Structure formats: C-alpha cells, structure tokens
C-alpha cells in the first residue's frame, strides 16, 4: 500500500506549518502555498507526515492510500 500527500487547495490557507513539520517533502511556493513531493511517503517519514496532517490548522493536508 502506497501513501502519498495531498492537499485540499480550497481548504488550504497558506499557514505553512506543513513545510515546517515536513520539510523533507513539502516546500512553499512564492505565495506561501505548499508544494508536495509526489513520491510515496517513505516509512521513515510516516510519523512526521501524520504529525503535519494532524497539525494543519485548516485540515487541508491529507494522506491518501492507493
């Protein structure tokens, strides 16, 4: 099972916490909105990814399984 990051762009308000919590996979564009690594989340980063998802103030960051 592969887990990837996804953002709900309508909910995202560019707080930028996700890029602080998971800089390995998330950077911010020139307007402060997240740019996500499209690769699967590696097991070593899963705990950090879950933390970033849980701490998003607008619950815009998601983990999807395919």
Partner 1 sequence: MMLIDAVERAGLTGHGGAGFPTARKMRAVAGRRRPVVVVNAAEGEPASRKDAILMRTRPHLVLDGAVLAADAVGAREVIVALHAGPSSVQTAVNERQAAGLDPVTIKVVQVPEEYVASEESALVRFLSGAPALPTFTPPRPYERGVNGRPTLVQNAETLAHLALIARHGDQWFRSVGTPTAPGSLLVTVAGAVQCPGVYELAFGVPLQAAFDAAGGLTEPVQAVLVGGYFGAWLPAETALRVQLTPADLTAAGAAIGAGVLLALPASACGLAESQRVASWLASQSAGQCGPCTLGLPAIAEDLAVLSRSGNTTNVRNRLERRLRLVEGRGACHHPDGTARFVASALATFAADLARHRRGNPCPPARFPVLPLPDDPGFR
For residue 49, the SS3 value is: helix
Q: How far is the CB of 9 from partner 1 (least distance, A)?
A: 4
Q: How far is the CB of 21 from partner 1 (least distance, A)?
A: 19
> Does residue 8 touch partner 1 according to CB under 8 A?
yes
What are the φ and ψ backbone dihedral angles of 47, each rounded to 5 degrees?
A: -65, -40
> Does residue 46 touch partner 1 according to CB under 8 A?
no
Contact 8, 48 (CB under 8 A): no
Q: How far is the CB of 64 from partner 1 (least distance, A)?
A: 10
What are the φ and ψ backbone dihedral angles of 9, each rounded to 5 degrees?
A: -70, -20
> Does residue 12 touch partner 1 according to CB under 8 A?
yes
């Amino acid at each position: 099972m592969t887990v990837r990051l996804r953002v709900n762009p309508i909910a995202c308000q560019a707080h930028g916490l996700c890029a602080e919590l998971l800089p390995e996979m998330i950077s911010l564009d020139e307007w402060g909105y997240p740019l996500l690594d499209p690769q699967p989340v590696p097991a070593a980063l899963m705990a950090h990814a879950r933390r970033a998802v849980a701490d998003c103030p607008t619950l815009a960051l998601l983990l999807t399984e395919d």
